Structure 1
Amino acid sequence: MTRPTVAWYVHHHGSGHLGRLRAVAPHLDADVVALSSLPEPADLPPHVDWVRLDRDDEPDPDTGRRPSEADPAAGGLLHWAPLLHPGHRGRLARIARELDARGAAAVVVDVSVEVTVFARLLGVPPVLMAQPGVRDDEPHALGLRAAARVLAPWPADLVPAPHLEPVRDRVVFTGGISRFDGREAPDGAREGVLVLGGRGGSGVTAEHVDAAARATPGHRWTALGAGGAWTDDPWRELAGAGTVVSFAGQNSVADLAVAGARAVVVPQDRPFDEQAVTARALDRAGLAVVEPAWPEPARWPEVLDRAATLAPDWSVWGTAGAAARAAEAIADVARGRGAW
């Protein structure tokens, strides 16, 4: 059988969307063309080609008009489709050219309602990467209905997702997808506090981390992101930490699960309460100490004491084999076995 081509739209906000591509692509028996306005990352698998798209979230270079001023939501029908914006027009035109020229058999969309619907209008079955949160608005419903398959990278029985119920027959709950699945933990005792920030933005600064460290002199603190240094591969630090302080993004939680971490999770403000919903699920399952906001310095000794008593059963997050399950679902659609 001819090896299919799968296009993969990678949203540029944060690092989680790219992280999922990195995790799933090695398991996917297809040629992959990644479509994103992010710069091409290093060390992609050899079967992944990268196409750089125009930006559609910057002022029009000719008129100076911001896209937020150009009715991007189409009166509530869509999330982002600014009128008369050359970047928006250019990126969709490039997507159409690539799908046509490469004969794409499926498009993974992580994430965009507009790209999902656009792919469906072009007659290419979209595989939509779902996100948790309160997503009962009209655009989300439109994107879900247009998708041939929906991948939910979390455990079905722990995170409520009523927005997926109308298309439940097309949803594959893969479990948390982490690029670290299968890695060995480093030797030695777990010690110290690691603050694991992300690239999606947060209100946590180096000053917050320094104040918490001063309030807990018995603990050595390290920050990756959140005002500290950044590394593209934090596995050694993550798996070697006594306590990990993390946000509640999907990739971050999946990485905590793979590492078997004792964690303090501080959800960040995100659209549709994505991180808040995820954090509440972790709290109910007893998987992490959840703080609704970054604690005041005087509270950190008690917070770390509570984290030290955790014995989380992270296996319930379903990370083992999750990337392979996602790849299998994508391949099913690309080979004409999708649910549509």
Structure 2
Amino acid sequence: MTRGIGWYVHHQGAGHLQRARAVAAQLSCPCTIMGTLAGLGEAGPNVLDLPDDRPLDEGAAFAGFDGEAERPDAMHYAPLRHPGLRRRMAQIAEWVDRTDPALLVVDVSVEVALFARLLSVPTVVVRLAGERTDRPHLEAFRSASRLLAPFPAALEAPGVPDWVRAKTFYAGFLGLAPNGGSTEGRNIVVVFGRGGEGGDLAAIAAAARQVPDRQWHVLGPVSGQSDLPPNLRIHGWVSDVGAHLAEAALLVGGAGDGLVALAAAHGKRFVCLPELRAYGEQTEKAKALGRLGAAIVRPTWPAEHEWPALVAEGLALNATIIAGLYEPVALGRCAAFLDGLATQ
């Protein structure tokens, strides 16, 4: 029997799970997706739903760090007396002992990467964008057999050490290809992801009023109260962001992996408003897009009066630049890379 691959997914945002699903569908080796997956539609023999390890204090924000006064320098999150974390690691160890995996992909957790090394399992650690040169990240990178960057090499940050670059497989954007292609529409599509704070309805409505000749469609979480102008529609969560994006003239949103991949896959002009994330993940990626001329970048949601000029600037972008970052065979190439490591 072919030894399988495990794929650990972090629970912040939806991108980690979407990436795992997309690549797993292309793998030749059997793949088990593991993580805190309850309520995300994941079930079956190839899923390991792990206990939640987030802070026990109800309502506490999860920032990826624990509050321990004394924590090993090689770790970010190792809270003491946390039963969920204890059971989580025990289940991972039991799964490893029972299945003898060829490889574990870790997307992302320094602690799971180091734990897998102690379990004598080769790992591929997913290396996200941002300033990840702190000791815990570097120790996780050092422990891994290889690193996997879910973005093209053109978006690499300038301060990444040479040995980290040399160990990295640049997979490109690992999103599903557009169904039916894209058209040049007139809509402005605004997207807010699962991992952030969402949009402010009053600010969105004010922006739409400033550009009344365009229909605005907003996807994802939005909060607050406001009267809506006739050219603004709030959709909330949708199952297929790509279907809405396909007919857009301009995309507005953060710099999450999934959304940037969609922008590139559809070749859409992009106003990028990076959301605050640990290690400047979205900020650094947005800077790279700006350097390439692949997007118009602003650090925060623009003021009401800025929108007419900003939309005009976005519509003047050369869409072939961002489209050139998309590699249609990225998923298959990534799967072949992992299959090759698993069968060595």
Amino acid at match of 1:37: T
The question of whether the paired residues in 1 share the 8 Å contact of 2:295 and 2:317 is answered with yes
Name the amino acid aligned to 1:210.
Answer: A
Q: Distance in 1 between matches of 2:39 and 2:340?
A: 27
Partner of 2:181: 185
Residues 1:196 and 2:195 aligned together: no
1:99 maps onto 2:60 in alignment:
no
Unpaired runs of 5+ in structure 1?
62-66
Measured after TM superposition, the shift of residue 236 of structure 1 is 1.1
Q: What secondary structure sits across from 2:34 in the alignment?
A: strand
C-alpha displacement at 1:306, in angstroms? 0.6
Aligned to 2:52: 55
Aligned residues of 1:245 and 1:266 also touching (Cα < 8 A): yes
Aligned counterparts of 2:70 and 2:298: Cα–Cα separation in 1? 33
Mapped to 2, the partners of 1:16 and 1:177 lie a distance apart of 10
Shift of 1:226: 4.0
TM-score by length of 2: 0.89
Q: Could you tell me how far apart the structure 1 residues matched to 2:69 and 2:84 are?
A: 13
Gaps of 5+ in 2: 59-63, 223-233
Q: Does 1:316 align with 2:324?
A: yes
Matched, 1:295 2:308: no
Counterpart CA distance in 1 for 2:57 and 2:249 is 48
Where does residue 28 of structure 1 map in the other structure? 27
The equivalences for 1:59-98 within 5 A come to 59=56, 71=68, 74-98=71-95
Write the distance in 1 (CA, Å) between the matches of 2:333 and 2:159. Answer: 22
Equivalent residue letter for 1:248 = A
- Relative to structure 1, the CA distance from residue 31 to residue 94 in structure 2 (aligned partners, 3 Å threshold; closer, same or farther) is same
RMSD of aligned residue pairs (Cα, Å): 2.2
* Letter paired with 1:309: A
- How many residue pairs are counted as aligned between the two chains? 326
Residue of structure 2 in register with 1:157 after alignment: 154
Q: Identical aligned pairs, as a percentage?
A: 35
Letter in 2 for 1:245: V
Q: Matches of 2:326 and 2:279 in 1, distance apart? A: 24
Shift of 1:40: 5.7
TM-score by structure 1 length? 0.89
Separation (CA, whole Å) in 2 of partners of 1:314 and 1:298: 27
**Cα-to-partner distance string for 1:35-62 (whole Å, 9 max, x where unaligned):** 1112264488x8x71111111113179x
Please state whether the residue corresponding to 2:25 is helix, strand or coil: helix
Q: Could you tell me how far apart the structure 1 residues matched to 2:14 and 2:294 are?
A: 23
Q: Which residue in 2 is equivalent to 1:220?
A: 215
How far did residue 182 of structure 1 move?
5.2
Shift, 1:139, TM fit: 0.2
SS in structure 2 of the partner of residue 27 of structure 1: coil
CA contact (8 A) 1:141 1:163 kept: no
Q: CA deviation at 1:163?
A: 3.3
Distance apart, 1:321 and its partner CA: 1.3
How far residue 232 of structure 1 moved from its aligned partner, in angstroms, is: 2.5
**CA distance 1:95–1:171, shift in 2 (3 Å):** same
Paired with 2:240 and 2:180, the residues of 1 have a C-alpha distance of 14
* Alpha carbons 2:295, 2:322 under 8 Å: kept: no
